[in-house]
Chain A
Amino acid sequence: VLTSCATIHRFIGTACHPIESRQMPGSFWEEEKQQSRRPFSFEKIVYKDCSIPNPSWNKDIRLLFDQFMQKCEDGSWTRLPSYRRGSTESIQDFKTLLRDGQITKEGHITQTNLFTRSFEDGLGFEYVMFYNDVEKRMVCLFQGGPYLEGAPGFLHGGAIATMIDATLGMTAIMAGGIVMTANLNINFKRPIPLCSVVVINSQLDKVEERKFFVSCSVQSVDEKTLYSEATSLFIKLDPDKSLT
């Protein structure tokens, strides 16, 4: 698994080309004929990129998305696609895909898809991440829907913790390959209203051998409200050891 994941990581670095903001293709589906359960026929599996605007995205997240897409034009920032399978393929296919290192013809396997498979647009996690490789910074635009509620009208602490872990984790992965969360420390300053948009700014602070120290802040779109801050430690996996 780990060797294959490392291969995929290399592809992440090279195959993630920024998308021309003027030329959004009509559809982000990799349109292929759907076939049931054939793990090695990847050309038959349909993948959908979820980290692009859909009708549930409000004007705040759309505006920021456009701003960051402009920043992608000179190559300093890259949008990370977030793929989920568009039909009912089982996890087994995806695991086989990772295990055998085979990927779609464009090398677009990036992050886990935060269990959004069963949600209609806008009900759960709507997000997109942009990465700056020179500064080792990740920006995640996140709009949490009504299925992520905690206290009435507010986002569940666990939902923002999940998003923070995902953003910090991706920052570490981009820098170091396959990593695991070791420590996660979150300070919640203010509760986040449901269906609002927040910006998670994360950066790689320090690397010590296999330790990756990453921190982030969660702010409102106008940067006037600080919702939370987090620090974390991720450990790069030793390729010679198994996961358990």
Chain B
Amino acid sequence: MIRTGFRVAARFGQHRALLRAPSLQPRLSPAPACGSSTDSLVSRFCPEKTDLKDYALPNASWCPDMLSLYQEFLEKTRSDGWIKLPSFKSNRDHIQGLKLPSGLAVTSDKGDWRIFTRCIQVEGQGYEYVIFFHPSEKKSVCLFQPGPYLEGAPGFAHGGSLAAMMDETFSKTAYLAGEGLFTLSLNIRFKNLIPVGSLAVLNVDVEKIEDQKLYMSCTTQSRDQQTVYAKCSGVFLQLKLEEESPQ
């Protein structure tokens, strides 16, 4: 873990990584969000301590493939610079203390918001997923298991649910890699159907960042990579969040 810490610190050259001995993955020390570097975005996104429930953790509905691939990636968070992203019930929980720029922020009297991909909280029925992010290589892997509520053709996940999972993985990748905030476009080619309850692996890469836009690609495959489910390219708009004024 010490080796990883120095590797990370050397790459960014900005923040010292403080190491917590018993944790499962290397943690970066909390940094003020004045910079827009990936590691400051990551450290703010992944709070050290929180009472919030993390939905991106194994539960009884996860199929054996998903569990074992999860363990493989957990190993990579200890040695290869990967980070497991937490997944809270609402996106607002991920950006506490930050808000949309004043032209866009909307006030609402409603209290109960959920991020779309966590809208169904019954285990195994909707989107079961976890995203691993690699800060220096700017890429992500999402392990996705669609539940019966996402069924389209009998026994298979419908196209819209995969589109949503791709959009969500793009969204987190874009945010951490370069403050990407809004989807500009999605271009999806569906190849094969994903059986409900099985594992689909989404590999997302940031191809380039240019003109305030992040260009990403995604390939969704079976675990053994023998079946390609879909390929997609996505473009996100960069937009800096503002600090909420102290109250």
Contacts and interface: CB of A to CB of B under 8 A. Distances in A.
Interface of B: 90-92, 95, 99-100, 104-108, 110, 112-117, 119-120, 122, 125-126, 148-156, 158-161, 163-168, 171, 181-190, 192-193
A112 B188 CA distance: 21
By secondary structure, the A interface counts as mixed
Contacts of A198: none
Given A112-B151, A150-B91, A243 B112 contact: no
A186 B115 CA distance: 20
A184 B114 contact: no
Given A147-B113, A148-B116, A185-B186, A153 B108 contact: yes
A156 B113 contact: no
Given A118-B149, A180-B153, A156 B117 contact: yes
A150 B100 CA distance: 12
A157 B92 contact: no
Nearest to A156: B116
A154 B106 contact: yes
Contacts of B104: 153, 191
B160 A148 contact: no
Q: Range of interface residues on chain A? A: 35 or more
**Which 4 pairs of residues, A with B, have the shortest CB-CB distance?**
A158-B164, A162-B160, A153-B106, A115-B149
A53 interface: no
A193 interface: yes
Nearest to A167: B160
Contact of A243 (B115, B156, B161): B156
B120 A180 contact: no
